[in-house]
Every structure is written in C-alpha cells, then in structure tokens.
Amino acid sequence: MRAIITIALRELRGMFHSPLAWTLLAVLFAICAYMFNAGVLSYQIQMLEYQTYGMRGGLPLTERTIAPMLGNAAVLLLLLMPLLSMRLIAEEKRQGTWPALACSPLSPMGIVLGKYLGLLLFLAIAIALLAIPPLTLYAFGNPDTGQFLAGLLGLFLTAAAFGAVGLAASSATDNPNVAAVISFGVLLMLWILSWMGNASGGLMDKMLAYFSLLNHYQNFLSGVISSADLIYFLLLSAAGLLFARQRLMAERIQG
Amino acid sequence: MTETMIHLSGVTRLFGGVKALDQINLEVRRGEVMGFLGPNGAGKTTTMRILSGLLAPSEGSVAVAGIDVLDHPVEARARIGFLPENPPIYGEMTVREYLDYLATLRRVPAARLRAAVERAMERCGLTGVQDRLLRNLSKGYRQRAGIAQAIVHGPDVVVLDEPTVGLDPIQIREIRALIRELGGEHSVLLSTHILPEVRMTCQRVAVIHQGRIVADDTLEALENRAQGNSIHFLRWKNPPTPERLEQIPGIFHVTPREDGWLITATPETDPVPELVRLSAASGWDLRELTQAGGSLEEIFLHLTTREERPEEGSEEPSA
C-alpha cells in the first residue's frame, strides 16, 4: 500500500514536472470556462425572450448552463486523457526506467494501481478546477446542487474510465504515441457506440446502447445517479486495469 | 558463510523458438563477487533479467537468497538489486529524490529511509550531487546513481550488468573499488566483457557462450587450466593462413589478433621449433614470438571459440 501511494505521488509530481500537465489544465480550463460563459449568456437571452412572451416560471438553470459545460468537458477529456495516460507505462519502458520499477518488490497489479491512482489524483485536481466556473452561479442564481454534484461525479467517473483505457493502451506498447492513438481510438469508439444503437431496437442495438459511454454519462448530467451507470464505469475501469496487469504478467513470459 | 544466495538450476529461456539460454546452472555464495563473462549476445543480460524477475525462464528454477523467484516473485525481488545495462534514471528527479523513491518501493522502513539513502550516496560518491537533477549529471554519475539504487535497500544479491561501460578511467577505477567493497556484504553477479575488470573485482568467474555456461571456477583454477596448454603470440611480416598453421603438429587453435596470432598447442608438444623452422623456410618473416601464458584473455578466447572441445564441455560446475 505504501508502495502504491509512493508510485501515485511520484506520478503526480512527474506530471507537474512536465509542461504537458500544466498546458493540459490550462487548455481544459480555458475552453470549459468559455463554454460556460457562452452557456450563461445564451441562457440569459432565452430567459429574456421567455419573459417577453410573458411566460411564468423559468428555464432550468443547471440544465442549461452547468450540464452542457460538463458534457463538453467530457469530450475534451476524451481528447486529452490519452495524452496524459500514454506515458504511464510506455514512457518508462522507452526511457529504460522500467526495470527499476519492475525489479522492486511489487506485484504487477501494485504498479498498475499506483500509476492509476496518480492519474486519478490529477483528475481530481482537473475536475476541482472545472467546478470553479459553475460555482460563480451561486452568487446570482440558484443552481441545482444535486445535479451539479452528480455531473461532477459523472465527469470524474467518465474521465477515470478514459484513464483506465489509456493505462491499458500504455501497457501494450513501449511507444507513448502509439498508446495515445490506441486509447483515443478505443474511447471514441466507446463514445459513439450508441450511434448504431437506434436502428432497429433489437438485442444488438440494446447492447451497443449499453456499452456506449455517452448514454451513461448523460444520466449523471441530468442528475440521476443510478447503480447501473456506476457499475458500468467501475467495470470499464477495472477492465482497463486488469488488461494492463495481464500485459505486464505476459511480458515476463514473452520477453 | 557458504550459503548460496543465487541459485540457477537448469534455466532455459526461449525467444520465439530460439534458445537464448540452454540449461544454465549457476551458484553464487554469500559475500562472493562473481564475474559473468561472455561475448555480446551470449545470454548474459537474459540471465540477469531472469534472475531479477524481469523475465520468466522457460524451464528451470531460480532462487535468490533461498527464495524461489517463480513461486514468491515479490519476496524474491525484495532481496535483489539490479543495475541494467542502461541505468534506470528518472531525469526529472534529483539524486536524493530518486533514491528516496526507490528505497520506499523496495520496502526500506520510513524510519531507516534517510540513513539508507545517505549510506548509498556515500558509498557511490553521490553525496556532493544529491540535489542535482539526474538529467543534468554526467554519464559517470548516472551510472553511480544506477548502482546506488541497486544497493540502497541493502539487498542480499546485487546484479550489475556491465557497470563500467562508457565511463572514463578514473570512474572505472572507483566503480571497481566499489564493486569489490560490495562483496562481503552482498553477493554480486557482475557481467562484463572487460577482462581486467574481472581480475580486479571477482573471486569466481562463470563464462557463458551461446547460452551455455562453458566454465565456472575460481580465477586461479581457470588460469592454471589454461597454463596446461602452451599459448604463444606470434607476429609475422607475411603471415601464413590460419589453416596452414593448424596443420603444424600439436597446434589445435589459432586466434587472429589485430597485430598477430595467438597459437595454442597441446602441453605435450612444443610447436616453437617447428614454427621457427617453417617461418624461415617459407619466408613468413617472423618478427615476434612471445609466450602468452594463461592470461584471462586467452582463457576467454578458448572457451568462447572452441566450446565444443571435450575437456571444456566436461568441466561443467559440480554445483
């Protein structure tokens, strides 16, 4: 356990030692903040129109501002997470530091968990950052805190699943760029899986719809935390980690 | 103190059907520095990777400090320190951070961490550069940092893969002194193809060639064995072909060197008179003839160029 935390903290520090993590956070934050502002502006205009026609009540604030921003943040992370996760294992192999880790008294799963935990810590920072723009809404309105938090949780779980897939890809090659391409491909495929899920309503379509990341994330964004969605994300993450572990085990045998 | 710390028995390793290692048997006792010699591609690195748990053997068993590497990989790895051919250096860390990190992973208790890191830095001469980034250090210092990470957790077994490659002569001398010092406390397996290094650091030598151990003995025993044969160094102005030389009675092996020929003859026959007579009669123009004796270099050449000779094949380690 101490070793896993040690690896995680080194990983986190390593990310901030490279300009990549900083750039990534800056880009993520800037784009999300812009999107959020755009969302708030369009909400204001719509509210004005609404009131002009004398309609009572209003438009759902969180639904119109925070949810779209978090939805777009997930798409951004779909692009950025492969860049962040690609180096986790592949870079160690390329740099020749892998033996120092692999000769330490750690199981392959210990290494994988340490790396993954490091990535999750980074994600926690990134998502805490993304929570800042929506928080400003509390000064002027009354956002739905439940929905907001569910969205953040959904974003974290989604990005964590991205990371697990990225870690698996990183374990499969010793070229980080290849790892990034693989994980981006897999993630995009998972994201858009439901596109073919509406064709006929048959079993195949239902399966496609179930495996689609987008569908599960959407539930969180609308404020619904269901165990089905939680299990989906946990399973996807676990699958990524187990794949990475298997790769590391097989490597000892295949060489 | 004759406890076996490294024990390889019948280790075979296949890479896609090709035998990189073929029935390797090797033992290193506590406190011993063993030289592991062999030409490039003979299987030194593969053996070391198997020993340190990076690779699994296809057959055979490996034990470190009495712990089976296949049955208890994690425990076995806690007892071993490995310096691969390229030191595993994290460029963005300082020397101290690097050793702290790896010592923690190697289960050095938090209370002893500082002392362990200090000691490793001191032994490897890194104290003065402890706050420098590894990326900015010279090759020699990186190599030392690589050795320091291999010993920081006080392992029973230290495996060093060509630790002096790429260093300048002063650094080489320092590293060799360090390796000699490591024996006694640790058991060291040291791979190299620099023969004087073996003489300076090792008590025992194993020679590997084409994936098989062709000799495993003390340095003196190996040298005595080679002295049984007579070895001469000859230089001609117009050298004959090696085939012609091998036709001379008693000569069974001719090794070309940059500047001349090493000629090995059986102990019973003295090839010198015949060589001199032929040189004069055939106009080869002899310029130099010296007795080479059983230096390590010659032993090495024998073992790795004529491994099929029966007397060498039968001298497998008695285990």
Read off the pLDDT of residues B34-84 as tens digits, 9 standing for 90 and up.
999 888 888 999 999 999 989 999 999 999 999 999 899 999 999 999 999
Q: Sort out which chain B residues have CB atoms less than 8 A from A89's CB and list them.
A: none
pLDDT means per 10 residues in chain A (255 residues)? 93 90 94 94 88 76 90 94 94 93 93 97 95 90 91 96 96 94 94 72 78 88 92 95 95 80
The CATH number of the structural domain formed by B4-217 is 3.40.50.300
Which chain B residue has the Cα nearest residue A91?
A: B90
Contacts of A192 (CB under 8 A, 6+ apart): A212, A214
**Does residue B309 surpass a pLDDT of 50?**
no
Domain ranges (residues) in chain B: 4-217, 229-313
Which chain B residue has the Cα nearest residue A93?
A: B88
Select the residue from A2, A95, A103 to test the B interface by mutation, using most B Cβ atoms within 10 A.
Answer: A103
User: Domain containing A174: what range?
Assistant: 2-254
Are A104 and B105 a contacting pair at CB < 8 A? yes
Query: What Cα–Cα distance (Å) separates residue A220 from each residue in A145, A149, A253, B77, B275?
Result: 13, 9, 42, 44, 92
CA–CA min distance A249, chain B (Å) = 10
3-state secondary structure of B151: helix
Architecture in CATH for domain B229-313: 2-Layer Sandwich (3.30)
d(CA A103, CA B107): 12
Which is more confidently placed, A140 or B269?
A140
Are A103 and B77 a contacting pair at CB < 8 A? yes
pLDDT digits (tens, 9 = 90+) for B122-136: 998 899 999 999 999
pLDDT at B247: 83
Q: Sort out which chain A residues have CB atoms less than 8 A from B78's CB and list them.
A: 105
Query: Rg of chain A's alpha carbons, rounded to an integer?
Result: 20
**Does residue B308 surpass a pLDDT of 80?**
no
d(CA A92, CA A197): 39
pLDDT at B316: 39
Which chain B residue has the Cα nearest residue A252?
A: B55
Of A7, A95, A252, the CB nearest to B54: A252
Of A7, A10, A96, the CB nearest to B88: A96
**Does residue B298 surpass a pLDDT of 70?**
no
How would you write B12-51 as a 3-class SS string? EEEECCEEEEEEEEEEEECCCEEEEECCCCCCHHHHHHHH
Are A99 and B92 a contacting pair at CB < 8 A? no
Q: Say if B90 is an interface residue toward chain A (CB within 8 Å).
A: yes
User: What is the average pLDDT across B177-182?
Assistant: 88
Number of compact structural domains in chain A: 1
Of B91, B92, B105, the CB nearest to A3: B105
User: What is the average pLDDT across B198-218?
Assistant: 87
pLDDT at B241: 84
Which chain A residue has the Cα nearest residue B73?
A: A105
Q: Sort out which chain B residues have CB atoms less than 8 A from A100's CB and list them.
A: 88, 102, 149
Are A105 and B55 a contacting pair at CB < 8 A? no
Which residue in the block uniquely carries the two structure tokens 């090839």? B271
Q: Where are the alpha helices (DSSP H) in chain A?
A: 2-17, 19-52, 61-64, 66-85, 90-95, 98-102, 108-130, 132-135, 145-171, 176-192, 203-211, 213-221, 227-254
Are B54 and A102 a contacting pair at CB < 8 A? yes
Residues of A with CB under 8 A from a CB of B: 2-3, 6-7, 10, 14, 17-18, 95-107, 252-253, 255
pLDDT digits (tens, 9 = 90+) for A72-100: 999 999 999 999 999 999 999 999 999 99
User: B280-313 burial by CB neighbour count: b if 16+ within 10 A, else e?
Assistant: eeeebebeebeebebbbbbbbbbbbeeeeeeebe
Spacing of C-alpha B137 from chain mean position = 26
CA–CA min distance A131, chain B (Å) = 31
Question: So what's the ipTM on this one?
Answer: 0.87
Q: Count residue pairs from A and B with Cβ separation < 8 A.
A: 69
Biggest CA–CA distance in chain A, Å, is 73
Of B52, B91, B92, the CB nearest to A103: B52
Are B13 and A255 a contacting pair at CB < 8 A? yes
Of A2, A3, A97, the CB nearest to B90: A97
Which chain B residue has the Cα nearest residue A107?
A: B74
pTM, rounded to two decimals: 0.84
Are A7 and B105 a contacting pair at CB < 8 A? yes
Which residue in the block uniquely carries the two structure tokens 């060489």? A255
The tokens of B124 are what?
A: 């490897």
pLDDT at B311: 43
CA atoms lying within 13 Å on the CB side of residue B33: 22
d(CA B28, CA B157): 9
CA–CA min distance A112, chain B (Å) = 14
Which chain A residue has the Cα nearest residue B90?
A: A97
User: B61-96 burial by CB neighbour count: b if 16+ within 10 A, else e?
Assistant: ebbbbebebeeebeebbbbbbbbbbbbbbbebbbbb
pLDDT digits (tens, 9 = 90+) for B212-231: 988 888 877 777 666 666 77
CA–CA min distance B91, chain A (Å) = 9
Which is more confidently placed, B166 or A220?
A220
pLDDT at B246: 82
Q: Compute φ and ψ for A245, nearest 5 degrees.
A: -60, -45
d(CA A175, CA A89): 9
**Does residue B293 surpass a pLDDT of 70?**
no
3-state secondary structure of B60: strand
Of B49, B102, B104, the CB nearest to A100: B102
Q: Which of residues 148-167 of B touch A (CB under 8 A)?
A: 149
Are B88 and A253 a contacting pair at CB < 8 A? no
Which chain B residue has the Cα nearest residue A251?
A: B55
Burial (Cβ within 10 Å: 0-12, 13-18, ≥19) of residue A17:
middle
